[in-house]
Structure 1
Amino acid sequence: MSAHAPLSLLCLPCAGASAAMYLRWRRFLSPSVRVVPVELPGRGARMGEAFVEDFGALVARICAEQADAMRSDFAIFGHSMGGLLAHGMARRLQAARRPLPRALLVSGCAAPSRRDPSRLDGGEDDASLIAELRKQGGTPQEVFASDELMRITLDTLRADRRVCRSHVDDTAGAPPLPLPVHVFAGRQDDLEASAIAAWSQETADVFTLDWFAGGHFFLRQHETGFLAALARRLSAQTHLHAH
């Protein structure tokens, strides 16, 4: 890789959200990283499309749609559900013997082998989902204030919960990923620390785990510190591979 070709960072959103959440990162990350928000069907600029509610089908669709971005140097980042999708993509590329990302980066997400399906047992009615959004703390106040935005968010969240429910960790027999895995987590998130640390078993390469103050959306609450850590992990990759 030439020292000048930027690393494409494919960014996958959390449940209920649009990938537009990542646009602001472009102002903070160095020009050596090209932020590529990966919009999923049914939200943001793709609002008119049907949701894809099956995990495997969604991963296959993302891999097909992002084939161009994955031709040059790239890494994959995902928050929460996005972390699960990012891992699914890396595993799909590995199984297909396609070029792999420089690194897999996940935040606010339990390792696939340690997911707790009972987290999705809550009600699917509006009141239950709104309570969940308030508890997680990542939803802007103006969404709660607007019936239309709330409806869009709840429809998206319902579809995404189906995606998460349909996830099966079928990598038990697969070799670990031959690439670095960098994990970021909030100390006040209600995910178990051991379930986050279990990401170390997914890689045969470098594993890092950075903890931050804050809950599930620590990456917003402490954006400056989080993006500095993200940039540090990414620059380790680019320096490693610059010839």
Structure 2
Amino acid sequence: MLIEPKSLTLFCFPCAGASAATYLRWRRLLPDWIGVEPVEPPGRGARIAEPLIDDYDSLVDRMTDELAGALPTNYVFFGHSMGALLAYGCAHRLRDRRERGPRALILACCAAPTRRDEERLARLRTDAALLQELKDLNGTPTDVFEHPELLRLTLDILRADFGVCSSFRRFERAPLDLDLHIFGGVDDEIEEERLTAWSLETSAATTLQMFDGGHFVIRDRESDILASLRNALRGFAPAERESRRAFS
């Protein structure tokens, strides 16, 4: 796909069980110099007819193939939960291919590669366990639980996505050379120590910002998240456009 030229393109990777549609509203909530480009994994949303992929390396290879060759000059990856792992993987794959890489990674509510809880993921295999996980995370619309066909689709996507997360392995390669901005929720089960360990994955700077809320803090504290997101991206914005926005 060809990307419309923007001062900065923000590629957004969704969390497990979710679709890229999560980020569509950001197009009108972020400044016009940021081009929001949601990244849709196969098997959901606009790609519902395609088979789901439940292996991390296979999914990252597929998504990197689709992004490579049409990348803008100036772009950043954002990922929430599983989306953070996908953004991290695509950044590594693009570097391996000597493609133009992102200027930074902004990762929300995802434990660092060295602080993953593999035992928890291994327990999430049955429908009952997946259903309880949906309820515990409190990030699924209540309508989903009231419609059997929609719930079946959601559980199938979630099972595949947890397979992606379970098959993730840390890249045993040189750290990335780009800034990492990490967002977390103070009530999320992913503690601050597991977030700060992202600093091991880059030779550049790492920042951490905690917000009131749980695992879906990017939804529950959206205005705060977007304010911090804009602040993190400001360094990539042409000064004259940001100045006009400030005084409009």
TM (normalized to structure 2)?
A: 0.90
Distance 1:12 1:137 in 2: 20
Which residue in the other structure is 1:182 paired with?
Answer: 181
Which residue in the other structure is 1:91 paired with?
Answer: 92
Identity of aligned residues (%): 47
Q: Which moved more, 1:200-209 or 1:210-219?
A: 200-209
SS in 2 for 1:163: helix
Closer/same/farther in 2, CA of residues 5 and 43 from structure 1, 3 Å limit: closer
Which residue in the other structure is 1:19 paired with?
Answer: 20
- Contact preservation (8 Å) 1:8, 1:69: no
SS in 1 for 2:95: helix
User: Residue type matched to 1:18 in 2?
Assistant: S
Deviation at 1:68, TM superposition (A): 4.6
Q: Which moved more, 1:113-122 or 1:99-108?
A: 113-122
SS in 2 for 1:143: helix
Q: Which moved more, 1:113-122 or 1:178-187?
A: 113-122
Which residue in the other structure is 1:44 paired with?
Answer: 45
User: Residue type matched to 1:229 in 2?
Assistant: S
Which residue in the other structure is 2:232 paired with?
Answer: 233
Distance 1:193 1:37 in 2: 27
Which residue in the other structure is 1:28 paired with?
Answer: 29
Distance 2:237 2:204 in 1: 15
Deviations 1:87-120 (A, max 9, x none): 0011111222221101111100011121111120
Distance 1:84 1:180 in 2: 16
Distance 1:69 1:19 in 2: 19
Distance 2:70 2:10 in 1: 9
- Contact preservation (8 Å) 1:103, 1:237: no
Does residue 217 in structure 1 map to residue 211 in structure 2? no
Which residue in the other structure is 2:58 paired with?
Answer: 57
Superposed counterparts of 1:5-16, under 5 Å: 5-16=6-17
Point out where structure 1 has 5 or more consecutive residues left out of the alignment. Answer: none
Which residue in the other structure is 1:115 paired with?
Answer: 116
Deviation at 1:239, TM superposition (A): 5.3
Superposed counterparts of 1:79-228, under 5 Å: 79-171=80-172, 174-228=173-227
SS in 2 for 1:188: coil
Point out where structure 2 has 5 or more consecutive residues left out of the alignment. Answer: 242-248
Distance 2:237 2:63 in 1: 24
Deviation at 1:50, TM superposition (A): 0.5
Deviation at 1:69, TM superposition (A): 4.4
User: Residue type matched to 2:175 in 1?
Assistant: P
Distance 2:115 2:63 in 1: 24
User: Residue type matched to 1:177 in 2?
Assistant: L
SS in 1 for 2:9: strand
Deviations 1:205-229 (A, max 9, x none): 2211110001100111111011110
- Contact preservation (8 Å) 2:80, 2:108: yes
Deviation at 1:123, TM superposition (A): 4.0
Distance 1:126 1:167 in 2: 22
